[in-house]
Chain A
Amino acid sequence: MSSLIGQRIPKLDAPDKATGRATYGHDVRLPGLLHGKILYSAHPHARIVRVDTSRAERLPGVKCVLTAADNAPTRFGYGKDQTPFKSMARSLRDEIAGVVAVDADTAYEALALIQVEYEPLPAIFSIEEALTPDAPLVHSEHGSNLFQTYHYSHGELLRGEAESDVILEASYRLPYVTHACMETSVVVAQFEHGGRLTLWSTTQIPFLLQRDLSEALGIPGSQIRIIQTSIGGAFGRGLDIYPYEPIAALMAIKAGKPVRLAFTRREEFNAGPARQPAEVSLRAGVRRDGRLTFRDVAAVLDIGAYVSWGSVTPLVMMETTASLYKIPHVRFKADCVYTNNLVTGAMRGYGNPQSTFFVETMMDQLAEAVGMDPVEFRLLNANEPNTTTPQGLVITSCGMKECLQAVAAAADRAAKRQGDEAIPEPVTHYQTPIFNAQSSNSNTLKRGIGFATTLNVGGGARIYRSDGCGASVKVDDFGHVTLVTGSTEIGQGSETVLAQIVAEALGVCPEDISVINTDTDVKPWDVGVHASRTTFIAGNAAHLAALDARAQIFETAAEMLGVSPDQLIARNGRIELATPHSPPATIPSLPLSKVVRQRHFREGGTVVIGEGWYDPPTKLVDKATYKGNISAAYGFGAQMAEVEVDTETGQVRVLRLACANDVGRAINPMAVEGQIEGGAQMGLGYALTEELIVENGRVLNPDFHHYRLFTAADMPEIETIIVETDDPGGPFGAKGVGEMGGTPTAAAVANAIYDAIGIRMTELPMTPERVLAAILKKEQVHDRPTL
């Protein structure tokens, strides 16, 4: 049997998902299950004077109605500014009351019977309004709408400016976007005898959620059990506690029966945690020889009415600003501002798609300013292995240059293609094909190529005091292996990758492995699935547990074979003497199952259970300077986008996207490609089509008609290139890849648009309207007639 590392092993859970047998939160069935619905505020900012629930309570089928009076007295959430139900509405997504009924129809009908008397208050919907001196306060107890400010610097900005031959500046506007998981948020809550709460949940942080819920409900964390169902997409949505989770628990307490609370798609758009919009200004300098001198960023983020992890995204924006490319002088400032808009949170990339957009479009401008090829310019300034950035990031393995060279080669191949082969066929007829002729817009189509790179944590991210994960590996007397891991499967394929790691260490097939990873009563502690950390952190933990189990097995096998444990290897389900030059039939060996049985049946016997705990050798960033090595490894990537811009309509079609990523080592290349390709879909949406349009705190497009995800028909040809650098700290050399696929995409597309039409787009998404407006503005400047 050859090594399992690097094999395209299909996901272990895929057959159940292909046949519709997987159980998602919407599919959980329990005896007596009731249905909850939430009534949201009718005003973006209002005091709740009175809530009359009597009519709703009288509706047949309604079990109970809840309001702020049912809250525990504590507050919860990242900023400790949340309660389940509100007595003061601060946004249109604020929960005012909830209904539990026998079915969803009845609960919905009851919502309309709840009468709420509001005292509307002045509200603020923009960063500018929020920061005016006499602005109404979103949280009066906080004393200001400015929740938090981040200041970072290294080097000396003035020196950087003095060393520059060219200084450029630009400002950027970044939109609200949302995870758009295919499964909407859902939770099922049940109280058992003795008051123990079981929650079936789509969370990404089961153990932190225990603690958060304990705070929100005022019951001990030991009384809360989280069971994770199959999760229909996460992408950061489940990285925090949100009010619907304690609300479901309160409903189950009050109703005395299990309750399901499931979002509609509209609720998902309105009440889910969006990626926060931001306004950014950037100044940057370069020397004539192409060396970067300084970068100076000031960002303001609208975090909405409550704080969630979204307010920590400046930490990652800061990392890109300070450490993407070698740059001696950096200043970064970010303000997080409360408004009466949506609630924002964590979303895949966590500040990095935003910052990579402005840093990498500026890189193109700087290259042009000094007359350098954009790839050469990037190679000159690229990060390198075995270096420490001024911010304190310890870069071990680094394939940034290899990634750049790989996508540059893809661009060359694209340029060399001729004729019909040059453009992928559009999937639709733009106009009725009646003349066997090309569309008449071929002379308005301009093509361009753009590049961008990315740096992302790839060895965990220490944002809590622990960045650890636990694992155990049990081997039974059939030679079957059970991995119990603290980590969470959210579709990314973690359980398959972990099974490969354990199988490799124990010399068994992945089919011989069961992965248990869904129940806090069973699995060991883990921080959660975020920051592209699972392969590295949970992988190392699982590997350690497997090695521990293997040592136990070797000890017994050595006794049975009369050799020393260090002479043994595990392969093909057997424990063998390591004698590479002997014919296989003559090698002394034992089946794994026999060794385990020997341990069970002997006097003073014992089970084979290996334990693993891995917490990477990293530090929390310094609270004052934000410096320090937050991750045990860093992933790198580069993308090349080839676009076609219709200069009359502003429509941008991405023809090709080449994505190269340094993943250390691809334990499962198919899963790695899947992360990159899926990330690219999200990145392309961020670049071109996705935007939650929010006016006066209201989402104007809370549906998939108008919130436009890239469909299969819109996707470009994607070339996925895996660069391997064998990271010294990763399991079998692997680093994380979960977020990098979509991080550089918007910048690569923007740079390609510039290459095509000579216009720098600084606002996302780059919709046909925005591109056309920029084209028309440029034409006016040049005194050309308009269309």
Chain B
Amino acid sequence: MKKAITLTVNGDIHELYVETHHSLLDVIRNELGLVGTHRGCDTGNCGACTLHLDGLAMNACLLLAVDYDGSEILTIEGITQNGALHPLQQALVEKGGIQCGFCTPGVVMNTLALLADNPHPSKTEIRARLSGNLCRCTGYVKIVEAIMSVSH
């Protein structure tokens, strides 16, 4: 069963006709082709699908797309301005916070939301916030270092 919805994604307005049971992640990836938002678990645990919905970081895998008709969405593809990396992305690159990179877009999106809540989080706050983003490669050490380097 399908339903018409309107989403503003990275500033562009999309009028979509989506299956009621499809998640926002399904729609972002399959309908809009924005595959930088990753599907790691589909159960809200790994955080690879984190995007911003009306300004807050959320797991797109657990959001029904039809529930968010009219919403403003920001994905990893909307972070880079004029081809230049955001300072957080640059820090993750330079500090070694990226290995396989599958968790990285989710980490970027959750961290940007953290910095909106609190521009100068402590290391402890960063680690608490990142508990919603699983990473199997880095042990989180260099991710936390990179975030510290842009927030202090």
Contacts and interface: CB of A to CB of B under 8 A. Distances in A.
B38 to A, nearest CB: 7
Given A24-B38, A105-B19, A715 B89 contact: no
A14 B92 contact: yes
Interface stretch (A218-226, A230-238, A601-609): A230-238
Interface residues of B, number: 56
A472 to B, nearest CB: 26
B99 A678 contact: yes
Nearest to A262: B39
B56 interface: no
A653 to B, nearest CB: 13
Contacts of B105: 18, 20
Contact of B43 (A22, A180, A671, A703): A703
A17 B143 CA distance: 14
Does more than half of chain A's interface fall in helix, strand or loop, or is it mixed? loop
Interface in A460-518: 490-493
A670 interface: yes
Nearest to B46: A704
A709 B136 contact: yes
- A24, A234, A235: residue with the most chain B Cβ atoms closer than 10 Å: A24
Contacts of B46: 182, 265, 704
B127 A718 contact: no
A660 to B, nearest CB: 15
Nearest to B35: A27
Nearest to B105: A20
B85 interface: yes
A117 B135 CA distance: 42
Interface string B77-118: 101100001000110111110111111110010000000000
A19 B85 contact: yes
Nearest to A24: B102
Given A427-B128, A712-B133, A681 B76 contact: no
Interface stretch (A5-13, A168-176, A410-418, A558-566): A5-13
Contacts of A428: 128
A440 B73 CA distance: 45
A674 interface: yes
Contacts of B96: 8, 10-11, 670-671, 673-674
B127 A491 contact: no
A713 B130 contact: yes
Contact of A232 (B38, B77, B126): B38
A713 B134 CA distance: 10
Interface in A700-718: 703-705, 709, 711-715, 718
A674 B137 contact: yes
A375 interface: no
Nearest to A490: B100
B131 A233 contact: no
Given A11-B98, A492-B99, A704-B45, A677 B139 contact: yes
- B75, B80, B137: residue with the most chain A Cβ atoms closer than 10 Å: B137
A709 B41 CA distance: 13
Interface in B113-152: 124, 126-128, 130-144
Given A181-B100, A678-B137, 15 more contacts: A14-B92, A20-B76, A180-B134, A181-B136, A182-B48, A230-B101, A265-B41, A491-B137, A670-B142, A676-B139, A678-B138, A703-B43, A704-B134, A709-B134, A715-B140
27 contacts: A8-B96, A15-B93, A16-B101, A17-B104, A18-B85, A18-B92, A19-B85, A20-B75, A20-B76, A26-B38, A181-B136, A182-B137, A230-B100, A233-B100, A265-B43, A425-B124, A670-B96, A674-B99, A674-B142, A677-B138, A677-B142, A681-B138, A682-B136, A709-B134, A712-B133, A713-B128, A718-B141
